[in-house]
Every structure is written in structure tokens, then in C-alpha cells.
Amino acid sequence: QFLQEAGARLAGFDGVIQGNVPIGSGVSSSAAMEVASAMAWTHLLGLTFEKKALALLCQKAENKFVGVNCGIMDQFVSVFGAAGHAVLIDCRSLQHELVPFDASRAVVLVCNTGVKRELATSAYNERRAQCEEAVRRLSRRYAGISALRDVSVAQFQAAADDLPQPVRRRARHVVTENQRALDSVQALRQGNLAEFGRLMNESHESLRHDYEVTCRELDVMVDLARSVRGTYGSRMTGAGFGGCTVSLVSPDAVDEFRQRVAAGYREAIGLAADISVVVPADGAGRVA
């Protein structure tokens, strides 16, 4: 529909969709589907779309069809991801930077709690509305504020009492998380994995206490991951209320991580933990 609205003339085709990205688990399965489908359409029908425009069309599908008022991050990374790199995105200008990630020094492990995030869509939209309320209030105090990214940590701390709860907690998470993202890039550039892991841990605590989108299963999984010697950091990923965690682990600790987290999670929750090693890879594209 949105390709047609953008001027594309579409025709039908027979196809099969196959994938291994867990659905409803906070690892952007919908964005992967949107981007892969859009690229298949454009290739099969000989259409030409600039990559950023394609990512924006896929975001529009998520907003209007799926009903999640998400930003551009998931779709953008699905388009612009690069092997061996993390991606720093400016969601306002849509400029991005590839940040080298040395997979020989640390392994990324994704742990699926096995809990579907039933509340995630409504809670995501609710929190977005709360953040927009924070912007309205803060813009009365500070000029040039059109989003929480325009608010520094110091500015937020000075104006925090102007915000009612839970709006204050929601905004505090976003403002501090924006700074953590920038600090994390600096840590990666410096090869400081301990600092990167500390920021991951801090992020999860903010998501747990300020943004309030974790759940018992996610918190147990993160706590188990952090208990393994060789884990730099661990946090939930996605919209929350279930789904997956992501952990940064020393290569020589991966086997112990798998064993201890799986055993501890089954003992605490009664469910099997699906644990996968993932590597930064190229974004969507034609493979054959």
C-alpha cells in the first residue's frame, strides 16, 4: 500500500517467506519483514528507491498498519547494518555512522525469555505519549525543545520538579538513555568493553525503574547473565514486557554463560531459555 502511495506500480507474484527471527520477542522481527519485503518488491518489479526513503516507508507501515508509533531505528538498521559494526543513528537528520565492533574480544548473546510481550504495543504508545507530555512542559521552560533529545541531563535535573509522575520518570529514562548511547559509542571506539557493559547495566536499571517496561522474566534473565564471570553487561531489548535480553560476554565465558543462565532460568521461571550467539551483519539485500 505505501509503496503504491509513493508512486510505485505493483504487480503480483508468488513467493515463500522463511525466517528465523523470533516473532514478538523484541528483536525487530516486524522491521526485518518490512524491509526484506520492500526490497523484494523493488527488485522483482525493477523499482528504484533511495535507501533512506525505503526505511521511512517501512516505518510508516509499522506506524499505520501494525499500529506501533515507533521511531525509525529498527527499519534503519535493517537497511544500513554493516558486518563488524554497530550503527549510531541520528533519528532527526537520519545521518548515521558505522562504529567498529571487534567480535574477537566480545560476543553478543541474545536470550529469549519465552514470554510474549502482550502489553508492549499499548505500553509503548502510552510511554511515547508521556514523553510527548514531558516535551510540552519542558518547552515552556527551555527554548528550542521539540523532543527529549534536545534536553541535556543537567537541564532535566534542573526542571525535574516541573514534571508530574510518572512523566518525570519516563523522561528521565529517555534523557539519560540518549547520553548513554553517545557514551557507549565513545567506549566502543576506545575499546573499553567494561565501560560499555556498565552502560548496558545502567540502561536496564533505568528501563526497570524509570521506564517500567521490564518484567520478572527479563529481570531474572539479566541478573543471571550478570552473575557470570566474564559478562560485561546485560539488558533487555525491544519494547519490553517479555521478549529478549542482550548480553556482552567475553569469548572464553560463553559456554559457562549458556549453562548457568539456562539452568538458573529454568529453576527460577520454569521455562527453557533460548540462547543464541549473534554477530553484526550486513543489512537486508539480495542473497541469490
Residue 27: other Cβ atoms inside 10 A: 21
Residue 211 DSSP label: S
Instruction: Report d(CA 257, CA 260) in Å as an integer.
Output: 5
Buried b (16+ CB within 10 A) or exposed e, 251-274: eebbeebbebbbebbeeebeeebe
Instruction: Report d(CA 80, CA 177) in Å as an integer.
Output: 22
Encoded amino acid at 74, one letter: D
Given 74, 161, 162, 210, the catalytic residue? 74
Residue pair 264/234 in contact by the 8 Å Cβ criterion: no
Helix runs in 8-48, H state only: 29-44
Residue 67: other Cβ atoms inside 10 A: 11
74 is catalytic: yes
Instruction: Report d(CA 127, CA 35) in Å as an integer.
Output: 25
Encoded amino acid at 115, one letter: V
Can the peptide bond before residue 22 be classed as cis, meaning omega within 30 degrees of 0? no
Residue 1: other Cβ atoms inside 10 A: 11
Residue pair 108/277 in contact by the 8 Å Cβ criterion: yes
Active site residues: 74
